[in-house]
Homo-oligomer: A and B are copies of this chain.
Amino acid sequence: AQTAVTIYGIADMSFDRFSGSNGGLQSNATVTRLDSNAGNNLAGSRLGFKGKEDLGGGLSADFKLEMGIQMDTGASEQGSNELFGRAANVGLNGGFGSVHLGRQDTPAFELLNNIDPMGVGLAGSSGNIQIGNKALFPVGGLKGVPEQGWIGLGAIRANNSVRYDTPNLGRFSGSVLYSLGEVAGSSQGSVGVIGLNYKQGPLYVGYVHIDDHGAGVVSPATVDFNQKSDAIGATYDFGPAKLHALVATKTAHSAGVTDKANYYLLGVSAPIGSSTQALASWNRSSGRNSNANSADQYGLGLLYSLSKRTTLYTSVAKIINKGNAAFGIDGYANHDGAAFDYSTLFNMGITHSF
């Protein structure tokens, strides 16, 4: 049976140094670590098992089981009891496209991954700004709570989900994912994502729509939560450099309160010789509420390939929160209950694929 299974993975570790400041409250704001996380290393460490069976007539079945690993401790990246926190799904593929059932990436995360020159990694990961719901919803006076990403935590990877991918339709392809909330008599906890892709030579354009009823976050029995997001992104490879851009908007409703924000990403990636690559990006969250808050993140990265499978990297990023915005790098959004006005992360590491 062994021939049916391919084992693969990534081991990624970095040194990093985080510092945050918020006016007079600076104690404990600087920390140096040996770190492994899917958020700000070049890649999330993982061990995967996958296989594909030819069923004849153009049909095939496949499966994927992928562990997320914190290499610095050996623990599961996705938390308690998660064996295969990155992926666990089975599917059928054919001329009709493919259908997969289980836990899997959403088209929303894939769009962000396609557009972000950092690959939703490194110090300046777009995930710091574009992903996440730190709290349920705006609470007046709490610094930073309103500003959350347009991709909710349950819309990165989706549990209990069915996903359909079209075959390549000329230059177009599309995907639909629906994650069941599994709550009797309610759509609470569910999330639906639609994605469209267009590729022509050096141009890639992608679009996604998310309809999130609190997947992975909101207690379905007590809160009626709904967040709708739209995003469009594009990359164009000029040869000496590739340009990256994305704009997104979200509108969230809960308990009679509405939260609106826009999001932006601009980036550039450029090869320097055959084994080095330079990356730069700007990410912005711009609240559209009465107490409009915003945040900007500026990131730089440099990759040096020792081989196709092994790469050294270094990166640096800074987040500037304005108003009550409370975005943070690498999970460090605040200290002693007060958000950092400025957060900076520098890291250098190694990523090894197998």
B71 contacts A102, CB within 8 Å?
Answer: yes
User: In chain A between 144 and 185, which residues have their CB closer than 8 angstroms to a CB of chain B?
Assistant: 159-162, 180, 182-185
List the 7 shortest-distance A-B pairs measured between CB atoms, nearest first: A74-B84, A11-B90, A13-B101, A11-B63, A74-B88, A28-B184, A31-B184
User: In chain A between 1 and 47, which residues have their CB closer than 8 angstroms to a CB of chain B?
Assistant: 1-2, 4-9, 11-15, 27-36, 45, 47
Could you say which residues of chain B place their CB within 8 Å of the CB of A84? Answer: 69, 74
Could you say which residues of chain B place their CB within 8 Å of the CB of A70? Answer: 88
Q: Sample 18 A-B pairs with CB under 8 A, ordered by A number.
A: A7-B7, A11-B89, A30-B185, A34-B162, A45-B88, A55-B306, A62-B352, A69-B83, A69-B88, A71-B88, A71-B90, A72-B103, A73-B82, A73-B88, A74-B83, A74-B85, A79-B81, A90-B350
Counting every copy of the chain, the complex holds 3
Docked Cα-Cα span, A30 to B183, in Å, equals: 9
Q: Residue of B at shortest CB range from A335?
A: B184
B6, B28, B83: the one contacting A75 at CB < 8 Å is B83
Could you say which residues of chain B place their CB within 8 Å of the CB of A31? Answer: 182-184
B28, B61, B63: the one contacting A185 at CB < 8 Å is B28
Question: What is the minimal beta-carbon distance from A2 to any residue of chain B, in angstroms?
Answer: 5
Docked Cα-Cα span, A93 to B162, in Å, equals: 44
B47 contacts A49, CB within 8 Å?
Answer: yes
A184 contacts B29, CB within 8 Å?
Answer: yes
Evaluate whether A350 and B7 lie within 8 angstroms (CB atoms) in the complex, with A71-B103, A73-B160, A81-B80 already known.
no
A139 is an interface residue with CB less than 8 A from chain B? no
A254 is an interface residue with CB less than 8 A from chain B? no
Digitize A47-65: 1 where CB-to-B-CB distance is under 8 Å, 0 elsewhere: 1010101011001011101
A200 is an interface residue with CB less than 8 A from chain B? no
B8 contacts A1, CB within 8 Å?
Answer: yes
Could you say which residues of chain B place their CB within 8 Å of the CB of A78? Answer: 74
Digitize A233-271: 1 where CB-to-B-CB distance is under 8 Å, 0 elsewhere: 000000000000000000000000000000000000000
A354 is an interface residue with CB less than 8 A from chain B? yes
A307 is an interface residue with CB less than 8 A from chain B? yes
B71 contacts A34, CB within 8 Å?
Answer: no
B182 contacts A102, CB within 8 Å?
Answer: no
Docked Cα-Cα span, A238 to B192, in Å, equals: 49
Evaluate whether A307 and B65 lie within 8 angstroms (CB atoms) in the complex, with A4-B354, A34-B161 already known.
no
Evaluate whether A69 and B65 lie within 8 angstroms (CB atoms) in the complex, with A32-B182, A102-B13, A184-B31 already known.
yes
A92 is an interface residue with CB less than 8 A from chain B? yes
